Amino acid sequence: MKNNVLLVSNPVSGGVDKFEFIDAVVNFAAQKKQLLIQYETSGNKDISKIKALYKKYTPDRILIIGGDGTLKMVAEAIANQDVILGLLPAGSSNGLAVEMDLMKTFEENLEIAFQNNFTELDLITINGKKCIHLSDLGVNAKLVENYEKSDTRGRWGYLLQIVNTLIDLGTPFLATIKANNQTYKTQARMIVIANSKKYGTGVTINPNGVMDDGKFELVILKNLDLIVFGKIITGNIPVDSEDVEIISTAKATIKTNFPVNFQIDGEYCGLENHLKIKMSTQKIKIAIPSTII
């Protein structure tokens, strides 16, 4: 049986020093008599470097200290490999950890990460890139861009950029969506490509989300005034109103009348006006508490 564990840590995620977290993982792995290989992301060819480490050590487990962006990076690197991912959430955006009830103490998550209980989750492919959790076009993606450019990290940084983004909304875009052998044309402020229910803030954006059902949802927010926005952030997304439409599908294309801000799993990806979206054949294994199974 292999006893190799790869630790991938993101030193800048969440604006939090990771030294104590890494030290705790080192000590825990030593107690378990497992060889720990450490990798710190740098923003320079991280995916190819993680691939090389996986090929060299073939770990049966990869621990991730970071947020959704770091998790997505690892998922890209280990595509189609049989390995359990252990989440140690420490990012500005921890949407998947929130979704899976893994926003616990670091010590609790460390115990879970080394267990053999896991669930297999779907992945989405968007223009050839993997999406694990939530991606979107429009307002939230602009918020992500503003946050990445800001010097203020953490929850306060997000709150500040929410205000700045809503003040400068700009004009809505027109979208042509093809899904389920139908064509939809709509004005929108934001279109969410959702594999799950919640953003990392805990806000429910897709009440229908199930992460292992072979489908994703397109959540179309046609209006995003203060009333609709207030309902969303208080967990009362108006799914039965004219402001919101949800399409469940396994494949879709979205074309917009001008390039729109786009993000995948909390990572800003620039402007896009054409998205090709489908379920991936790849799944990922995420360590979970035994009580969830």
**Mean pLDDT score, 229-238:** 64
CA dist 88 and 198 (Å) reads 18
Q: Could you report the per-residue pLDDT of 55-92, keeping only the tens digit for each?
A: 999 998 999 999 888 998 999 899 889 999 999 988 76
Higher pLDDT, 244 or 174: 174
Confidence check: pLDDT of 165 > 70: no
Confidence check: pLDDT of 14 > 80: no
Q: Could you report the per-residue pLDDT of 245-263, keeping only the tens digit for each?
A: 999 999 999 999 999 999 9
Contacts of 1 (CB under 8 A, 6+ apart): 60
Share of the chain above pLDDT 90, in %: 52
CA dist 142 and 206 (Å) reads 19
Rounded to the nearest 10°, the torsion over CA 17, 18, 19, 22 is: 170
Q: How many CB atoms lie within 10 A of CB 5?
A: 24
CA dist 68 and 97 (Å) reads 8
pLDDT at 1: 42
In the block, which residue shows the tokens 């991912």? 85
Q: Could you report the per-residue pLDDT of 110-158, keeping only the tens digit for each?
A: 999 998 899 999 999 999 998 988 999 988 888 777 666 665 555 555 5
**Mean pLDDT score, 179-197:** 94
Query: Which sign does the torsion angle of CA 13, 158, 199, 250 carry?
Result: negative
